[in-house]
Amino acid sequence: MKVYMDNGATTRVTEPVFAAMQPYFCEIYGNPSSVHGYGRQTRRAVEAAREQVARAIGAQPREIYFTGCGTEADNWALRGAAWANAKKGRHIITTNIEHHAILHTLKQLEKEGFEVTYLPVDSDGLVTPEQLEAAIRQDTILVTIMYANNEIGTLEPIEALAAVAKRRGVLFHTDAVQAIGHVPIDVKAQQIDMLSLSGHKFHAP
């Protein structure tokens, strides 16, 4: 018997998920942007999915954007927030244990003229709100700290970290790809401005 133990890398699509998707391949396949009946049918399905995702994290449906994967979500959030706020400042804060989807994007932003502070973590992989507070400067525009680490499972104190960013008027993004489905998340209560998640890490394709 084989036992799959790499669920942090990707997960199996479960039967209910597969069943829910099946009609949209060969039966209901209109372009959701089309105005005819075929399109309206798929549009309804997309909007229902948007509502489900929103409900799972305490967001409004209009705040949900579908991307191709978690890497694309991280990329888009960081690059979008950085360039949209570049006139206010060019300083970004993160930790040195982020996923490469974050670290490689920040390396590219450094080449484009942004400055990044990489906060160190303790032996348990934790970063503290005090560390974040001390690193925020006049020109800090964005903080990105992962919710759960993909290698050692550390859960960062996201609510307290986001509260610091909010108090100092800085956007707060979290890569929650490893947290969704494992811990309750409420972006409103936790003051999270932007959050990335990825279906294939919790039994979607």
Contact residues: ligand PLP, CB under 6 A? 69-71, 74, 99, 101, 146, 150, 175, 177-178, 198, 200-201
Closer of 101 and 141 to ligand PLP (Cβ):
101
Q: Are 198 and 147 in contact (CB under 8 A)?
A: no
- Rounded to a whole number of angstroms, the minimum distance from the CB of residue 112 to ligand PLP is 21
Closer of 200 and 203 to ligand PLP (Cβ):
200
Residue 121's contacts (CB-CB under 8 Å, 6 or more residues apart) are 95, 96, 97, 127, 154
Closer of 170 and 197 to ligand PLP (Cβ):
197
- Rounded to a whole number of angstroms, the minimum distance from the CB of residue 173 to ligand PLP is 12
Rounded CA gap, 60 and 55, in Å? 8
Closer of 77 and 165 to ligand PLP (Cβ):
77
Rounded CA gap, 204 and 16, in Å? 10
- Rounded to a whole number of angstroms, the minimum distance from the CB of residue 89 to ligand PLP is 25
**Position of minimal CB gap to ligand PLP:** 70
Rounded CA gap, 107 and 104, in Å? 5
Closer of 146 and 165 to ligand PLP (Cβ):
146
Choose among 119, 181, 168: nearest CA to 144. Answer: 119
Q: Are 114 and 90 in contact (CB under 8 A)?
A: yes
- Rounded to a whole number of angstroms, the minimum distance from the CB of residue 190 to ligand PLP is 17
Rounded CA gap, 195 and 77, in Å? 8
- Rounded to a whole number of angstroms, the minimum distance from the CB of residue 175 to ligand PLP is 5
